[in-house]
Amino acid sequence: MTLPVSLLLRPLGELKEDEWCMAELTVNNYGEEPISFIKVEIFGDIEAEKPVQIDKLEIDELLSFQIKVRALNPDGVVVLKASKIEGEHVVDFMATTMKFSVRHEQGKIHKAYKRYAAHTEMVCKLCQEKIYPGFLVVHCGCNAVFHHKCVQDLTHCPACGRKW
């Protein structure tokens, strides 16, 4: 069953790569009963400072939150995910994808890699361990994906050797 929650993210200023910006996150319960303990997370090319936690969302209730977001790369594709938590476990969730325009800095050299928070499970090309949704990754132009922590001190891609 999909969690009957709709999510909308609206930047309150211009999104620029690597700069924090305020945004409005709207959460609505369109189901037939109140929902308790909802966590809203953002994955993909835009990150949120922290997840939004909602104790209770009544039927037809629409809540707005001001949150801080930052574009990790100019593609601007984000996955908004709402999960219903019971104890430590996610018992139900829904996810929606949105795309935003991100201003690319004039004169900024196009990077040979992208940085974003994973939204599906992947495997790191360097340590061969799993990358879970929400982990920060470095995605090289050669299509190899790494944990950010595995390659953050490297100046070249360990898979193809190109300069980052």
List the interface residues with Zn ion, window 144-163 (CB under 5 A).
144, 147, 150, 157, 159-160
User: Which residue among 142, 152, 154, 164 contacts Zn ion (CB under 5 A)?
Assistant: 142
Q: How far is the CB of 148 from Zn ion (least distance, A)?
A: 9
Amino acid at 31: G
Q: How far is the CB of 23 from Zn ion (least distance, A)?
A: 30
Q: Is 46 in the site for Zn ion (CB under 5 A)?
A: no
Distances in Å between the alpha carbon of 35 and those of 3, 58, 93, 104, 132? Answer: 9, 7, 12, 39, 26
User: Which residue among 23, 72, 79, 124 contacts Zn ion (CB under 5 A)?
Assistant: 124
User: CA–CA separation, 128 vs 124, rounded Å?
Assistant: 5
3-state DSSP assignment of residue 110: coil
In terms of CB distance, is 119 or 147 closer to Zn ion?
A: 147
**# residues contacting Zn ion (CB under 5 A):** 11
Q: How far is the CB of 152 from Zn ion (least distance, A)?
A: 11
DSSP result, 75-94: T-EEEEEEEEEETTEEEEEE
User: CA–CA separation, 22 vs 92, rounded Å?
Assistant: 28
User: Which residue among 12, 59, 90, 127 contacts Zn ion (CB under 5 A)?
Assistant: 127
What is the longest distance spanned by two Cα atoms in the chain?
55
Q: Using CB under 5 A as the criterion, which residues of the chain lie in contact with Zn ion when the complex forms?
A: 124, 126-127, 140, 142, 144, 147, 150, 157, 159-160
